[in-house]
Structure formats: structure tokens, C-alpha cells
Amino acid sequence: MADPVLEWLLDGDAAIRWQVLRDLAGAAGRTVARERQRVAETGWGARLLALQRPDGRWTRGIYSPKWTSTTYTLVLLRRLGLPPGNPQAQRGCRLLLDKGCWTDGGINFWQRQHDRSETCVTGMVLAVVCWFGLEDPRIDGLAQNLVRQQMADGGWNCRATPGYGRATHGSFHTTISALEGLLEYERAGGRAGSAASRAARAGREFLLAHRMFRSYRTGAVVKPEMTRFSFPPRWHYDVLRGLDYFRDCGAARDARLVDSIELVEKRRQPDGRWLLQNRYPGKTFFELEQVGEPSRWNTLRCLRVLDWWKNGQLNLKPSCKTPRLV
């Protein structure tokens, strides 16, 4: 019998279809690759590529305006699954390095105001340049910068960097950005891969120690918006983004993820789909989905997270030494 939810997902954009074929339908690799190639040729991906300026930018900005700048357009194209090697994406990626690489190895688009790199942005840029297969010696510096910026509790926080703030506790937002960047860097075979892997293990432990969205001291929800599923997440963390990262990196299941999994299951609608619960304000080229309506992005991600949870092995022990929580 046909699965109506799966059929509904496959009726969506090419960016949805190739991931559904890979993660939920068990399609052959050749079929997945063929559908993935269409991201550049049709739908959302093609629309975004058509908006690139002759100088390689989207709009006139590198990081702003949100969400139509070069940085955030490339971040979205990565989430759509635009294939590595795309020449337009690579041109944009090289522009990010040319405009942002700083003396400490990270990314600093605000060089007149700050003499340090911004950790969250460094993670985002690392993720996109590695995803799109850019070859540039400066990429190792981005990963090394993230490793150096990791905090004692295992997380990252852009406001812990001198010049940006005095934070003493990891940030969920910065941590997920760093983790996604380091994952793509490891997959790209970067020279600092061993250090990146160790840092990522500690970063995952930071999220697990907080049960993905709770205070480790009181157990209270840190921020209600972290329990609402958004797409695109932009620079924001939410529970679904965190869980999808754990699935993507092939992490073992952990008992401290149970609260998050139960939240995902609770949010399933009677028809088997999930809604788009939130969007972050800012200028966009176009909207992918509407808040309050069934979301193919959230449904795809929730289903593959639940599939990973169901089929993985449960790890009852921390994956590494528990970080020092402050």
C-alpha cells in the first residue's frame, strides 16, 4: 500500500525529493544522484542561483542583509543539497574567504569594528566551503580556529571571544554552527581532522549534558523557541536541527536524547505530517513554506531522525569525558 506522506514528500521540490529518496525511500544511489542534480536546474535551487550577481555575490552584501546576503544564500543552498563542485557556489565560497579570512584563521566580516573572528560565522562558512568542495589552504585555518575557540564546557559561544562579549557558557546556537562546520570539514578530509573530531565529540557532549534544550542545573527549557521547528534555521538552534545533526554524523543513540525524541513524536499531526512552527524575521528572496502549514522540510527531517533513533544502538555512557559545566 502506498504511503501518503511519502508520496506527498515526493511531490515537493527537487531539494526535498532527493533527500527523501536517499533517507526514507531507500532508492538506488544513481537515482538519488540524478534527482539531486536537479536542485541546480529547477525549483528553489535554480531560483537562488539565478539571483547571483556578476561579481559572485547575492544582493550587495557578504553577510547582510539577512537572509539574502551571500553567506546566508550559500548556507541555504547547502541545506537544499546543491551538489558539490557547482561553479556558482564555489565562486561565492571563495568570495567569503577573500572578504572574511582573518589573521587568527577564522572569519571576520567586521574588520573595522573587531580584531577577532566571529565563531558562529566561522562555523557556517566552514560548512559551506567544505560542502561545495572548495580547495583552499585557508580552510584548515577555519577548522583550527574553531578548535581553539571551544570552551571548557565543550560548547562554543561567539560572545566569549574578546571584543564580542564575556560569555562563560557555551551557546546552543554557536555550538550547532561549529559542529556542522567541523562535520563537513572531517568529511572533506581536512588536515586538522583529528583535532576536529575530538572537538566535535566534546561539543556533542555539551548538547547531551543539556538534554538538547534544558538547563543542566534545573532541567527547565532554556528557550521555548528552541522547541519550535523552523526551516531554514538560519543561525538559530532548535531541537530538530540538533537531532538531525546527531543523525547526520552517525552518532550512537543516547538516553539523554529521549526528551527530544518524545518532543518530535508529540509534534506529529494526526495525518502523519509536521507543521512549520516558526520562521525568523528578515528579508528573503522567497518563502519556502508557510508557518502553521504542513512542512515537507520538517516532515522529512522528523521522519529520518525517528528512523535513526529506531534503528540505532542505545549508548548509555557518555561518548567522551563530560565537559566542565560552568
Residue with cell 518532543: 263
Cell of 57: 555575490
Name the strand (E) or helix (H) holding 246. helix 239-248
The pTM of the full predicted model, rounded to 2 decimals, is 0.95
The whole-number pLDDT of residue 313 equals: 60
pLDDT at 162: 72
Q: What is the pLDDT of residue 318?
A: 46
Report how far Cα 133 is from the mean position of its chain's Cα atoms.
17
Domains in the chain, CATH or no CATH each:
4-315 (1.50.10)
- 17-26 pLDDT, tens digit each: 999 999 999 9
- For the stretch 219-256, pLDDT in tens is 999 999 999 999 999 999 999 999 999 999 999 999 99
Q: In this predicted model, what pLDDT tens digit does every residue of 85-96 receive, in sequence order? A: 999 999 999 999
At 147, which helix (H) or strand (E)?
A: helix 138-149
User: In which residue ranges of the chain is pLDDT below 70?
Assistant: 1, 313-326
pLDDT at position 2: 79
